[in-house]
Amino acid sequence: LGLCVSRHPVFFLTVPAVLTITFGLSALNRFQPEGDLERLVAPSHSLAKIERSLASSLFPLDQSKSQLYSDLHTPGRYGRVILLSPPGDNILLQAEGILQT
């Protein structure tokens, strides 16, 4: 096998590359990127999806065309907390007391 490969290097370099490109492009054209994070993360019949559909049916958002594009997205449940300490202190030592209040 090695002797055959060494006698015909162009064939064994170009044919696998052409086959890889051909099959790769034909197979990868069928895939579409998924942009819905909830579909990627949550199982299809999870309690979170059921509760979200219930909440959106009870409290519908006004999704008119006159609003901004950013207003059409449903807000997620997250928040940010920025903790600052006085100069010279360590916020990590005080974090337990701050987070409990």
More confident residue, 8 or 81: 8
- Close Cβ partners of 91 (under 8 Å, ≥ 6 residues apart): 83, 84, 85
* Average pLDDT of the segment spanning 16-25: 91
pLDDT of residue 19: 93
Mean pLDDT within 1-6: 88
**46-98 tens-digit pLDDT:** 887 888 788 778 777 665 555 554 554 556 665 667 777 788 887 777 767 76
Closest-CA residue to 52 (of 60, 35, 72, 71): 60
The residue extents of the domains of the chain are: 1-31, 35-101
Q: Is the pLDDT of residue 10 over 80?
A: yes
φ/ψ of 27, rounded to 5, equals -80, -35
